[in-house]
Amino acid sequence: MAHRELRPVRLWATTPVALRIAAVYVMARVITTGFLLLAASLSTAVSRFGADAGLADFVLGWDAQWYWLVAESGYPTELPMTESGDVAENAWAFMPVFAYGAKALGLLFGSWGAGALLLSLAAGYLVCLALHRLLRDRVGSSAAMWAVVFFAAGPVAAMFQVGYAETLFLLLLFVALDLTARRRYAWLYLVIPVMAFTRPGVLAFALYLGLHGVLRWLRRKQDPLAGHEVVHILALGALATVAGFAWQVIAGIATGDPGAYLATELAWRRHWITGGVEGFVPFEGWVQASQFWFGLWGLPQWWGPIFLVLVVVAAAVALLSSPQVRALGADLRLWSASYLLYLLAVFFPQSSTLRLLLPLSPLWGAVAVPRSRLWRIGILVSCLLGQWLWIYHVYALGSTFWQVP
């Protein structure tokens, strides 16, 4: 009897990793599809998607409409303006790689939406493979697999099945992190430019490369640093920096307005700030948002920046001292710090904050390091509950400012 009970466990353990991850990924996508179908049945006339919503509406909903517009119409050469004379929301906020990649697939399968869905799904599976590869030598194969489970079933797992660029960007990012960790720098010359034109975030990778170079220099006695590696790190850091600002330059040339991209991004922020914003100031968005949210909750607005400082200090302490996070290695901790600093500098935290935290997904490895089975099951249940709540509010309801993915 005991041998029969162990047989499925042994079969799972001897199954190739790629197939195990495929099984986890398919199961996670079935659950997410069930959640989306339930959300569609609960959608009403008040929702953005209407009372007769379906899965296709969700695939093409929210920002997916902008990517579709880019694929069909390209980018405007004249910026649209609001009645008050400000730059209105427009396609320049959305990078071209996913939009045109989905269009290419769509030519084979009949529609842009079909191409977008297939691209997101395929990239999502490859992201799971890349995450496991990134974590397995750091936390062990079992913990890495659990990290994949949490990632595939996480609170914003609907991103695997809609027309957003997230999964494609994460694939490129995780591959880039793995190449850096394994010192295969030459391949990054191909990955970085594609990543830069998939969605914003490559400037955080530029900062990470700089910190990676500093760390290697400090550890050069224990970990020899060859001259050609120094050249690669400096050149790649420069490439990532140039690529990170390239879209702003392209938007400026195409529209004749050097500030076209930043003005476009700020167009979304004006929905949250009374009186709008004058221009982009690094780190200002978080201060403004903390005051906005605390005021909305009926709390003194000056509490917001204090709370923000406490959160930043807590994140820094966790990255520096938490044994579970330290187990991930210095490189992934440096990436996490770089991306968090990038978000602090450029982002205005609002309803899409959870989605924009996806590049921190390697931290699932810290959650999954060897603990009790009860802990891991509890985290998985929490992920699924969070996923349903997110899908319910964003797709079933989707009728107010804090229900935008």
- What pLDDT band is residue 277 in, cutting at 50, 70 and 90? confident
Across the chain, what does the average pLDDT equal? 92
Q: Is the dihedral of CA 341, 342, 343, 344 positive or negative?
A: positive
Predicted confidence (pLDDT) at residue 235 exceeds the cutoff of 80: yes
Which pLDDT tens digit goes with each residue over 323-358?
999 999 999 999 999 999 999 999 988 888 899 999
3-state secondary structure of 81: strand
Q: Please give the residue that has the higher pLDDT: either 132 or 401.
A: 132
Could you tell me how far CA 181 lies from the centroid of its own chain?
Answer: 20
Q: Rounded to the nearest 10 degrees, how much is the dihedral formed by the CA atoms of 147, 150, 155, 161?
A: 90
Predicted confidence (pLDDT) at residue 14 exceeds the cutoff of 50: yes
For the segment 195-224, the average pLDDT, to the nearest whole number, is 96
- pLDDT score of 276: 66
- The CA distances from residue 12 to 4, 53, 214, in Å, are 14, 38, 42
Predicted confidence (pLDDT) at residue 266 exceeds the cutoff of 60: yes
For the segment 64-78, the average pLDDT, to the nearest whole number, is 96
Which pLDDT tens digit goes with each residue over 97-153?
999 999 999 999 989 999 999 999 999 999 999 999 999 999 999 999 999 999 999
Predicted confidence (pLDDT) at residue 76 exceeds the cutoff of 50: yes
- pLDDT score of 275: 65
- pLDDT score of 123: 98
- pLDDT score of 11: 75
Do 64 and 192 form a contact (C-beta atoms < 8 A)?
A: no
Spatial CA neighbour of 136 closest among 333, 362, 302 = 362
- What pLDDT band is residue 46 in, cutting at 50, 70 and 90? confident
- pLDDT score of 4: 55
Do 117 and 163 form a contact (C-beta atoms < 8 A)?
A: yes
For the segment 241-254, the average pLDDT, to the nearest whole number, is 97
Q: Which residues lie closer than 8 Å to 144 by C-beta, 6 or more apart?
A: 131, 132, 135, 136, 138, 365, 368
For the segment 164-171, the average pLDDT, to the nearest whole number, is 98
Spatial CA neighbour of 361 closest among 126, 208, 139, 150 = 150
Residue ranges of alpha helices (H) inside 74-200 are 96-109, 112-139, 141-152, 166-181, 188-196
For the segment 303-322, the average pLDDT, to the nearest whole number, is 84
Amino acid letter, 105? L
**pTM (predicted TM-score):** 0.94
Predicted confidence (pLDDT) at residue 322 exceeds the cutoff of 90: no
- What pLDDT band is residue 6 in, cutting at 50, 70 and 90? low
- pLDDT score of 2: 47
